[in-house]
Amino acid sequence: MSYKTIIEDNIDILVVGAGLGGTGSAYEARYWGRNKKIVIAEKANIDRSGAVAQGLYAINCYMGTRWGENKPEDHVRYARMDLMGMVREDLAFDMARHVDSAVHKFEEWGLPLMKDPKRADLPKGDIGKGAYMREGRWQIMIHGESYKPIVAEAAKVNADKTFNRIMVTHLLMDDAKENRVAGAVGFNVRTGNYHVFKSKTVIVGAGGASNIFKPRSVGEGAGRVWYAPWSSGSAYALLIEAGAKMTQMENRIVLARFKDGYGPVGAYFLHLKTYTQNAYGDEYESKWFPALEKMVGKAYLDTENQHFSHKPIPTCLRNHAFISEVNAGRGPIHMVTMEAFQDPHLEEVGWENFLGMTVGQAVLWAATDIDPKYVNPELTTSEPYVMGSHATGCGAWCSGPEDVSGNIDEYFWGYNRMMTVDGLFGAGDAVGGTPHAFSSGSFTEGRLSAKAACKYIDDGKADGINVSQEQIDTRKAEVYKPLETYTVGRNEIVGGTVSPSYILPMPGLQRLQKLMDEYAGGVTVSYMTNDKLLNIGIHKLKILEEDLDKVAAEDIHQLLRAWELKHRHRTSECVVQHTLFRKETRWPGYYYRGDAMKLDDDNWHVLTTSHRNRDTGEYTMEKQPLYHLVDEKDK
């Protein structure tokens, strides 16, 4: 093999994955660590990488504390309600109290935030007059086509080096001290070179997982997944394999979106005031709620009062009504746009909303002659996704900040956003139990991690790190194995993609998607699973893992796909373990446990954690206590 080994040594802070979370880390790390060596390893090109590569038309997490709009605890209560109680409220509070300062910086750097003409008189400050245009209580509207390149600039200026096109395959562990991180390895997806990053701390800002459940699309359209196709679950696989404790991995999310294009509905519901109806023009949600109330309990859905009050209904429960109505034969569900789109301003907002963040939906409507001014477009519920920055909270079990979490042993072990592996921090999808962070909240988590990582180093916690040559060499052989497997196996057959000795990345991915769909509650089974199915799923994942030892790559691009597949597989395994452990149906509309069809607060008002033994691959599952933010006066 002619690939070079390129070693980057003496790094203080290594940022793995520079989406919104990782860029926040690189920026903030320089503020607190003026003389520290800060290095970014990014799978794509930092200017257009991560979930925000395409742009965004809204920032979904902004408190507006400067105008007294919300307090951080209001957002925590909102997230708690939306996630059926399952939130790390210390982390959520911490994110919410800082997030506005990130958004103000974005505006300073040139991100165009829309202003509300009705609130033009609102205060001054140095970043422009007038209050931001609200889409909803937490969302503000932006012209965000260049959100990512603008924010990337802040990371590039402040990092010592930015390595683009590095697929990080593994974290390095310290050979001197048990359970301490020591860097990462991977390969350049263009040159093929092997990259070794020796670092005192690692902040993982990699992405969650699209494409682990079989998508609704059958061909090219598989690329039009809701979460980016390049989100390969590295946020989870890297951590699980390093032995970090994970949390809430069962909490996959299903999105109700415009059909096929998966164009977002937030601006439509909140700003354009469009609404849904079934194929026959009827409102359908409320009729499913009385039975659903029995399933989840009155505290989570109060049919009589909640539906008519302004308290939002949890997203999963609205999904449940959608799915039930379609299964009852009254689909498709339509978004009623024809009323709102008669207003030219709202029509423009509706289109620009897609052009700014989901161009594919505009392409689809153009192709099918759908002008929402004259036609009410169809909606659908997506295949499930596993992630931790949008409206769900999969990720690693992290320490909270001392002033909030300091008195709770389970929530605090010294450094904010540090995982259960020393020196390993996270941001965005990697941090568990912190839903509703979105872009601005992920950036904020990256900042919090970076400050804590600097402190960890200054406290001497990273002294004496040692990475043996053996570890580097072993990983290297592992990284390139799919190329060797191909070279050897290819000689056995005349040609084509079918071999008895190896499996290529795409068929491997399809096998993963099919089994996750059928056994872990995907779209073809209407999100239903049970203990028996999940146990079969675990067995099949084990066999798939054996076969992935024989995954083959024809070239460096396929080597990238091979490693993405391995990361997706590890993520899936953890998802199935968690789904099996939580014996209840906590989020109807995201998935159902047929053997436990009720929400069960007596036994499951807890967060779930898992730990995978690095040597044996065995999982240990645990329940962790839920602490809620309550009034000081509350007994």
Subset of 285-304 contacting other proteins (CB under 8 A): 299-300
Residues 502 to 541 in contact with other proteins, rule: CB under 8 A: none
Residue 536 is which amino acid?
I
For other proteins, the closer of residues 194 and 300 by Cβ is: 300
Eight-state DSSP code of residue 619: E
Query: What tokens does 285 get?
Result: 């949600």
Read off φ and ψ for residue 399, nearest 5 degrees.
Answer: -75, 150
474-503 residues in contact with other proteins (CB under 8 A) are none
The residue among 175 and 601 lying less far from other proteins, judged by its C-beta, is: 601
Measured CA to CA in angstroms, residue 264 lies from 354, 446, 586 at distances of: 7, 25, 25
Q: Where are the beta strands (DSSP E) in 371-495?
A: 379-381, 395-396, 424-426
Dist CA 211 CA 510 (whole Å): 9
Residue type, 280: Y
Rounded Cα distance between 518 and 533, Å, is 8
Contact 582, 603 (CB under 8 A): no
3-state secondary structure 229-261: CCCECHHHHHHHHCCCCEECCCCCECCEEECCC
Please choose, out of 281-289, 418-426, 441-449, 533-541, the segment that lies near other proteins by the rule CB under 8 A: 441-449
CB of 451 to other proteins, least distance (A): 6
State which residue, 80 or 475, has the beta carbon closest to other proteins: 80
CB of 525 to other proteins, least distance (A): 21
Q: Is residue 345 within the footprint of other proteins (CB under 8 A)?
A: no
- Least spacing, CB of residue 10 vs other proteins, in Å: 18
In the complex with other proteins, which residue's Cβ is closer, 344 or 495? 344
Residues in region 582-611 near other proteins by CB under 8 A: 601, 605
Q: Could you say which of 352, 531, 554, 600 contacts other proteins (CB under 8 A)? A: 352
Neighbouring C-beta atoms of residue 557, cutoff 10 Å? 13
CA atoms of 467 and 451, how far apart (whole Å): 25
Binding segment toward other proteins, per CB under 8 A, in 45-53, 327-335, 528-536, 614-622: 45-53
Q: Tell whether residue 363 is a contact of other proteins (CB under 8 A).
A: yes
Q: Is 371 among the residues that bind other proteins (CB under 8 A)?
A: yes
- The token duo for 50 is 């991560």
207 or 243: CB nearest other proteins: 207
> Largest Cα–Cα distance of the chain, in whole Å?
76
Please give the distance of CA 591 from its chain centroid, rounded to a whole number. 17
The CB-side HSE value for 319 (13 A sphere, CA atoms) comes to 25
Q: Which is nearer to other proteins, 7 or 150 (CB)?
A: 150
Q: Which is nearer to other proteins, 177 or 598 (CB)?
A: 598
User: Which x/- pattern, by CB under 8 A, does the window 446-465 give for other proteins?
Assistant: -xx--x---x--x-------
Interface with other proteins (CB under 8 A), residue from 178, 470, 615, 632: 632
Binding track over 169-208 against other proteins, x by CB under 8 A? --------------------x-------------------
Of 120-149, binders to other proteins (CB under 8 A) are 123, 125-127, 143, 145-146
User: Which listed residue (97, 198, 461, 567) binds other proteins by CB under 8 A?
Assistant: 97
Rounded CA gap, 295 and 39, in Å? 49
Q: In angstroms, rounded to a whole number, what is the distance separating the alpha carbons of residues 157 and 89?
A: 33
Is the Cβ of residue 402 or residue 549 nearer to other proteins in the bound state?
A: 402
Helix 556-581 and helix 531-548: axis angle, to 10°?
160
Surface-to-core class of residue 321, CB atoms within 10 Å of its CB (0-12 exposed, 13-18 middle, 19+ buried): buried
The single residue among 73, 545, 554, 600 that binds other proteins, judged by CB under 8 A, is: 73
- Residue ranges in 543-562 that form contacts with other proteins under rule CB under 8 A: 557, 560
Among 3, 6, 7, 66, binds other proteins (CB under 8 A): 66
Q: Which is nearer to other proteins, 225 or 335 (CB)?
A: 225
Q: Which helix (H) or strand (E) holds 528?
A: strand 528-529
Asked if residue 110 binds other proteins (CB under 8 A), the reply is: yes
Q: Which residues of 467-481 are buried (b: 16+ CB within 10 A; e: fewer)?
A: beeebbeebbeebbb
412 binds other proteins (CB under 8 A): no
